[in-house]
Chains A and B, each alone.
Chain A
Amino acid sequence: MVEGVVRSDRRSIARAISYMEDGHTEIKKEIMEKLYSHCGKAHVVGITGPPGIGKSTLIGNISVLLAKKGMNVSVLAVDASSPYSGGSLLGNRIRMQENLFNYGIYMRSLANRGARGGLSESCMGAVNVLDASGSEIILIETVGAGQADLDIMNLADTTILVLGPGLGDQIQAIKAGIMEIADLFVINKMDIDGSYFAMKDIEEVISMDDPRGYKRRVTGTSATDHAGYDELVGTILDHGRYLSGEGTIGRKRFLMGARWILESEIGRIIIDPAMDAIKKKGTDRNPYVLAEKIISQLNAEISKEL
């Protein structure tokens, strides 16, 4: 299967992503370890924003422009699962599929299966599969974002926040959290009244950015008029070049991968043996102090050279 992924065989890619969704941790680790040597080329672009703002439509349109530039593009889109049945209507695809069909772009829908944060647990694995298969740019649509759906910033090289007219008070809530994590902004539905004010609002926010860092930009787009997409693609590629210059493309995924292994193993490797050691002590000892002691011993171990 790994060979198939590297050959860019669609069935192998699809099956490998299924393993990321459904496989046990052991299998996922094995696949990810094998794939990693083929990874590292892709620019991962996260697209987030409130429900119904036009994320899927936007991805359908920009993926084509990227494909026309000769880039190998693929798309992941996360939908929410029903908390009642566990099932999901994977509705993002239908908004973009026509463009994808015409250009043979690989797209995969993922249900979030109750994960909070706007992504599914399988997202990082799926990105690695696509990267290893030769994707140069991977567009990820998050579940319609509220304030707390910030996971995308830990995975994407470039995070785009899509906003639009008529969000009213919602924009205040969004500003509180998501504004900071976005690298680029889009005001979509520029064909609708009020979009101009939304644009001004964002321009004001980013005018306060630290002038020494990356200069964040806001682009207006409209699916109705098919406007703004060339400019948006320009800003995305520009941000990618900036990150490459800094040597930080793929950095977040690198850290996320390490964290994933650590978190999945921490119980078995660290907590279980530590608890075994603590169990041998009597209740005359202070449990808080014992645990602290184990932690400081581990800390000393971690600071040693890898």
Chain B
Amino acid sequence: MSGGRYMADGKSQSLFREKPIKVLLAKPGIDGHDRGVLVLAKAFRDAGMEVLYVGLLPTPEDVVDTAINEDVDVIALSLLNGAHLTVFRKVMDIMKNKGIDDISVVGGGTIPDEDKPELEALGISGNYGPGTPLSTIIEHVRMRAEEARIKKLR
């Protein structure tokens, strides 16, 4: 477990004890492929994270509101229906409008390589597809959570 490694050196550090990473898993959009997110939910829990799964079909607005109310570190978006460019962008737009920059967003599902630069430019990283080792995904989420934590301590 590395729940506490997120701490950068800094004077606000003492405000927090070691705490588990909190992740929101969401499938915003009409997409019934939920096996992947359910696998991830268990994998994240077993990696020591606190995991919220909001199920199929929450709107991008609901996703962002939930992330705020639950004060998560990372939003993990999953789509296997090809709508990722539109829907993921919508989530980022709402976050921007609300001025939220201390929650990291990662993506995944069936995302063609040619779409990845565009998602990256929006601030959505990872974008892992079928066959990615879970350890790679977990490491990535930890890294992005660490970034979010540092911003939260500002």
Partner of B47 from the list A10, A87, A90 (CB cut-off 8 Å) is A87
Residues of A within 8 A of B42 (CB): 89
Encoded as 1 (CB less than 8 Å from any A CB) or 0, chain B from 1 to 28 comes to 1010000000000111101100000000
Cα(A21)–Cα(B14), bound, Å: 14
Residues of B contacting A17 in the complex (Cβ-Cβ under 8 angstroms): 71
If the complex has contacts A11-B68, A109-B70, are A87 and B51 also in contact, measured as CB distance less than 8 A? yes
Q: In terms of DSSP, what is the predominant structure of the interface of chain A?
A: mixed
Q: Which of A22-30, A39-47, A198-206, A230-238 contacts B (4 or more CB under 8 A)?
A: A22-30
Chain A residues whose CB sits within 8 angstroms of the CB of B48 once the complex forms: 85-87
Would you call A106 and B69 a contact (CB within 8 A)?
yes
Chain A residues, Cβ within 8 Å of B66: 93, 97
Q: Is B51 within 8 A of A23, CB to CB?
A: no
User: How far, in angstroms, from A86 to B68 measured CA to CA in the complex?
Assistant: 23
A–B pairs, 30, beta carbons within 8 Å: A10-B65, A10-B69, A11-B100, A14-B68, A14-B71, A19-B15, A22-B16, A22-B19, A24-B14, A24-B15, A24-B16, A27-B15, A81-B50, A86-B1, A86-B20, A87-B46, A87-B47, A87-B50, A88-B45, A88-B51, A89-B51, A89-B53, A90-B50, A93-B54, A94-B55, A101-B62, A108-B69, A108-B70, A109-B50, A111-B50
Q: How far is the CB of A115 from chain B (nearest CB, A)?
A: 14
> Which residues of chain B are within 8 angstroms of A178 by Cβ–Cβ distance?
none
Query: Is A244 part of the contact surface with B, judged by Cβ < 8 Å?
Result: no
Whether the Cβ atoms of A88 and B20 lie closer than 8 Å is yes
Which residues of chain A are near B69, meaning CB under 8 Å?
Answer: 10, 13-14, 106-108
Measured CA separation A90–B52 after assembly (Å): 5
Contact A87 B44 (CB under 8 A): yes
CB pair B47–A85 under 8 Å, yes or no, is yes
Chain A residues near B (Cβ < 8 Å): 10-11, 13-15, 17-19, 21-24, 27, 81-82, 84-91, 93-94, 97, 101, 106-109, 111, 113
Counted as pairs of residues, one from A and one from B, with CB atoms less than 8 Å apart, the total is 89
Other than A85-B48, A86-B3, A87-B51, give 9 A-B pairs with Cβ distance below 8 A.
A11-B68, A24-B15, A86-B20, A87-B44, A87-B45, A90-B52, A94-B54, A97-B62, A108-B70
Give CA–CA (A111, B19) in the complex, Å: 11
Q: Give bound CA distance, A134 to B51, whole Å.
A: 28
Residue B49 CB within 8 A of the other chain: yes
Sort chain B's interface into a size bin: 20 to 34
Complex interface: chain B residues within 8 A of A18 (CB): 71
Q: Which residue of B lies closest to A14 (CB)?
A: B71
> Contact: B44 with A24, CB < 8 Å?
no
In-complex Cβ contact of A85 among B1, B14, B15, B19 (8 A): B1
Q: Given the complex, which residues of B lie within 8 Å of A19, measured CB to CB?
A: 15
User: Does B91 sit within 8 A of A, measured CB to CB?
Assistant: no
CB closest residue in chain A, given B51: A89
**Smallest Cβ distance from B82 to chain A, in angstroms?**
25
Partner of A22, one of B17, B47, B53, B68: B17
A178 smallest CB distance to B (angstroms): 27
Task: Please name all residues of chain B whose beta carbon is closer than 8 Å to the beta carbon of A27 when the two chains form the complex.
Answer: 15
Q: Tell whether B145 is near chain A: CB-to-CB under 8 Å.
A: no
B106 interface residue, CB < 8 Å from A?
no
B79 interfacial by beta-carbon distance below 8 Å: no
CA distance A202 to B119 in the complex (A): 57
Task: Give CA–CA (A23, B152) in the complex, Å.
Answer: 13
CA of A27 to CA of B17, assembled, Å: 11
Nearest chain B CB to A27 CB, angstrom units = 6
A262–B53 Cα gap in the complex (Å)? Answer: 38
Residue among B16, B17, B52, B152 having the largest count of chain A Cβ atoms under 10 Å: B52
Residues in B whose Cβ lies below 8 Å from that of A101:
58, 62, 65
Cα separation A230 to B30 with both chains bound (whole Å):
34
CA distance A111 to B71 in the complex (A): 13
Which one of A13, A97, A106 has the highest number of Cβ atoms from chain B below 10 Å of its Cβ?
Answer: A97
With contacts A18-B71, A86-B48, A107-B69 taken as known, whether A23 is within 8 angstroms of B53 at the C-beta atoms is no
Do A23 and B20 have beta carbons less than 8 Å apart?
A: no
